[in-house]
Structure 1
């Protein structure tokens, strides 16, 4: 998306009609607009979001220019208008937002809005100007730039600080959604959701079989219960994130307190040991369960040994003559002559020997099968010989954990009591204990919900299997179940592909973001990105996480937004890639205030190289530095000319 121009009429302090064009050259892609605080930088930034979505963050919702309204007569109408022209996917759009205002004779409310905001979207097709239908307007705007993603491309210094704090404090869920949408993963999730609904819609017709209707209802009820559990689990996660951040904050305060330094150090060691013990227990339980996989063989060992004893003489069954059947022997005895010509007279040794073969030839001969059975029995008996000893050893390890774990827990409680008794950190410690208790309760509830969810899912699978068995008895239902199986296969395949592509995106994003982050802050720090897009800042030299400053947090969000833009631009050059997106411009209101001169230089160098277009509002105090470092990347220079507090003009 490339912004071409913005035309305003009486929008806040921008009096009359004012027309602004933006630099859109591939090299000189930066537009700099400078002005003092209060001149209109934030207002102009808000004009973009009002034009697109009808939203602003102003406390005063009256957008009509006060200078204009002061000259209006009672009952007179004036219009606030914003017209944004942009290029999206090689199509030129003009988006118009209009709101009427009327002058009143009320002292407390001299101006009021009339009717609803009117929005229009015009585009050029084959050289002709066409209008997007009202019913399709929201969909077209969502296609150009969804409102929930706009904050990542139209932002001010405060907004970017909040986003940086969110990412560094484990609140990356919203950013994760933005990344997936911007990099084309939304197509996957939309298809997966659609297939999931389709699978649920395929229900066998009950007809005269009431059991089918009962199963359908039971499965539907289980789905609702599972959805309810998943929503609660998501709520718990949202509660856990700020609690974790608060606990870290309180622990930091305690550790910084000189009177509690030693206690805090001991506590930190105990917490490390506490975590190691929990990890050890979890590992031992996993190994115990792995050993328990031999249980079927172990519990059937007695029966297998008895069976081996019963068939221990079965070796004689190996005396059977290959390819000779009972009918063959019967025929030879009846004709009283062997195939070799030997006479077979009743009572002779030869006759008796041949007659005894009836015990070893089919159908009485099962020698091969028994030998097979004996081999399998011996192998299984041998495989589980040490199971009991292994389980006893693992169980002993788990039991020994409990004793040490309780000791560590008790020591932690004692330290917490001592810390809470200190006057200078007593309240902090009490708050910490309260948050930790709440977090433990949430953790316990989460474990219980996961167990409950597993039970419900198992029950649902069992019901679906039983329903499938019933449904397959009917021809029409067999067709429905076939369609459901196709949909399930597509769902599973697409979900697997999505997970694969999402992992690639996350890995590439982390790499891209770190390259940009290093350009801004140097090589001392790196960013780690988990599956939920939460960010951990790592000290490269010694490892481990690090607390972040305001400048670092802002650098994080700069790096992430720039990284996503970089990947979006790269995806356009990937002819065979599944994920293709549109690059977006950056419109920033005073983003450089939190940086020192060195960082401003780096940011000014990095952003124009990555973003397709940069529109930056800068305080006059930062203007010279930005001008110096943006250099020949600047394609348009504009400034705010404030006549007074309610009347400003943009001049070139």
Structure 2
């Protein structure tokens, strides 16, 4: 897969239309975009991410809403009635097809503020044959995101959209949590997991569970055993859900421990802390305003409809009471006593009969008059019932809506409180006389919490094993009581076949994962040494798929947690190159006769070398064209001379930005 071009229209720093054509040559497969700091290199990288996934990569303490996509100069020229478009178009191709992805939003201005608001969103995608543009097919709108994710998997975006400024912190946007899943996807292990989940690991929705439900028995004993078997299944599913919660809490506690340990081991730069403090103050203010807004919305909804909900039992009881007193309704709908008076005064009924006092017709009307309001309440009762029904329909879903709004409000308050806590902690950290004993106390608390969670995790796992053994015994007993017929025999054979297949897949997955894990660690060492000339250091994946760095000492290798920014990037870069290269080799081994260009992703690098030395830049750059079919780099001009990639460059661009202008422009260059 290769990117052919990207077109930006009014996207962030870029006013009007700006286009970059990427090199798709096999030998000169590098496209470089050079520019100074803050001119818009990262903006182009963000355009890739936004076009593919509808979101930009956020910094700590920021949300998607904090990023304004519409160019500021364009926004400044708008009034309250104006409309302006933001658009990014990305064209990619493989050996057979060309894919055009276009994401666009139409913005309005929240006049007089210099703020853009989204008025309309649109995502389109076209597919054509690589040799013929006339075969253009538009993808159905509901299938576009799904197809994009097939071509450029979102959970792998951190590997082919590499941001050197952010990848030094491997926890940003959940990268660390996704390493195991990413390895499984890139190495093909996810196929094993998907098959095992479908067969057995989906609880009552799995194939084996559905097959077992088809087997029938007879007698109360069989029914009791079947009920107990299903109860054990429900208990197992409940335990698994509790395990998921424990794993989340464990991950959070480990993260908190690591944060405290890094704080205790590292002397943070005061200026950096002050910048974080200012940014966090802005976030805190925004979150506080959102809390107030969410609460106002909930209170408004409650005030508008709650009286109808609370009155429902009263209206029902009142209606029943009045009916019991008034008896059966005998009135004529929509008529009142005044209507009868008018008819009698006219001397002729609406049916044409002449009316005179003392006649039967006259007496009937006098009797009917007693059943009409205001003498009788039958019609008023009808109106009361209709009002009660209208109220009931309006508040039918009110409890659920209020609960959802309350949860949203609680979440906002929780986020605000967490931000406030972080804000207070930053204040303390900037104090020259910070009490480190308090941080050690917190560390001890987190470590104790981890121990308790691990103990509880062991208990839950033990309960699961107990229930599984109970299910095995129950299944054996039920098997003896099954109805002896051909239908049961067929379903039993299917169950046994599915269980044998699951056992085989589980064994193969375990063996393959161990093999891949060892091969990856060997390859990581090789890449780390050749990319960073590291003789006294090594990196490896832990059993928990954490990327760890070790320093050589007289007593062997020791893990080093206090890494420099450059070491963090080096560690993560080696891992990314290893996984991408390993995936490419594995696919080539399985299909040696099939060209592998279609199966590899291009690498888009934003500021990859900003914190590395000249020698490491040269060593990394040398590897990049080998492991990827296409390399796109956004970087500082001053760092380019160290890469040694001139012979691999097929396209080169400069980003120009004049001092008196707030927007940038892209121009292609022949020599640089």
- Which TM-score band applies after superposition, normalised by the shorter structure? 0.5 to 0.7
Distance 1:249 1:66 in 2: 37
Highest CA radius of gyration, 1 or 2?
1
Q: Does the 8 A contact of 1:51 with 1:83 survive in 2?
A: yes
Change (3 A) 1:252 1:181: closer
Secondary structure of 2:10's counterpart equals strand
Distance 1:78 1:165 in 2: 32
Secondary structure of 2:494's counterpart equals helix
1:225 to 216, 235, 238: 235
Change (3 A) 1:606 1:122: same
Deviations, residues 270-289 of structure 1 (Å, cap 9, x unaligned):
xxxxxxxxxxxxxxxxxxxx
Deviations, residues 528-581 of structure 1 (Å, cap 9, x unaligned):
323432233233452332333332221111011111111122134224589998
**Is 1:640 aligned to residue 646 of structure 2?**
no
Matches within 5 A, 1:93-112: 93-103=99-109, 106-108=111-113, 111-112=116-117
Secondary structure of 1:646's counterpart equals coil
Change (3 A) 1:48 1:466: same
Deviations, residues 78-99 of structure 1 (Å, cap 9, x unaligned):
3222111112464221111121
2:585 to 558, 570, 573: 570
Q: Does the 8 A contact of 1:590 with 1:617 survive in 2?
A: yes
What is the match of residue 650 of structure 1? 666
Matches within 5 A, 1:12-161: 12-56=12-56, 57=58, 59-72=65-78, 74-88=80-94, 90-103=96-109, 106-108=111-113, 111-124=116-129, 127=132, 128-161=135-168
Q: Does the 8 A contact of 2:26 with 2:629 survive in 1?
A: yes
Deviations, residues 84-140 of structure 1 (Å, cap 9, x unaligned):
111246422111112122356x21366432223333243327732222223432332
Cα deviation for residue 241 of structure 1 reads 4.3
2:442 to 410, 418, 431: 431
Distance 1:186 1:255 in 2: 38
Q: Structure 1: any 5+ residue segments left out of the alignment?
A: 258-422
Change (3 A) 1:99 1:215: farther
Distance 2:576 2:547 in 1: 13
Give the RMSD, CA atoms, in angstroms.
Answer: 3.2
Change (3 A) 1:172 1:82: closer
Q: TM-score, normalised by structure 1?
A: 0.67
Secondary structure of 1:161's counterpart equals coil
Q: Structure 2: any 5+ residue segments left out of the alignment?
A: 59-63, 201-205, 268-433
Q: Does the 8 A contact of 2:550 with 2:560 survive in 1?
A: yes
Q: Does the 8 A contact of 1:12 with 1:646 survive in 2?
A: no
Count, aligned residues: 481
Matches within 5 A, 1:487-498: 487-498=498-509
Cα deviation for residue 651 of structure 1 reads 0.7
1:536 to 548, 552, 562: 548
Q: Does the 8 A contact of 2:126 with 2:136 survive in 1?
A: no
Distance 2:83 2:440 in 1: 61
Matches within 5 A, 1:123-522: 123-124=128-129, 127=132, 128-163=135-170, 172-196=176-200, 197-202=206-211, 203-206=213-216, 209-241=219-251, 243-244=253-254, 247=257, 426-471=437-482, 473-521=484-532, 522=534
Change (3 A) 1:623 1:543: closer
Distance 2:605 2:29 in 1: 14
What is the match of residue 266 of structure 1? none
Cα deviation for residue 438 of structure 1 reads 1.7
Distance 1:256 1:162 in 2: 15
Cα deviation for residue 247 of structure 1 reads 4.8
Deviations, residues 335-365 of structure 1 (Å, cap 9, x unaligned):
xxxxxxxxxxxxxxxxxxxxxxxxxxxxxxx
Q: Does the 8 A contact of 2:41 with 2:634 survive in 1?
A: yes
Distance 1:611 1:210 in 2: 65
What is the match of residue 4 of structure 1? 4
Cα deviation for residue 146 of structure 1 reads 1.6
Q: TM-score, normalised by structure 2?
A: 0.65
Distance 1:173 1:73 in 2: 45
Change (3 A) 1:136 1:429: closer
Q: Does the 8 A contact of 2:97 with 2:130 survive in 1?
A: yes
What is the match of residue 359 of structure 2? none
**Is 1:611 aligned to residue 628 of structure 2?**
yes
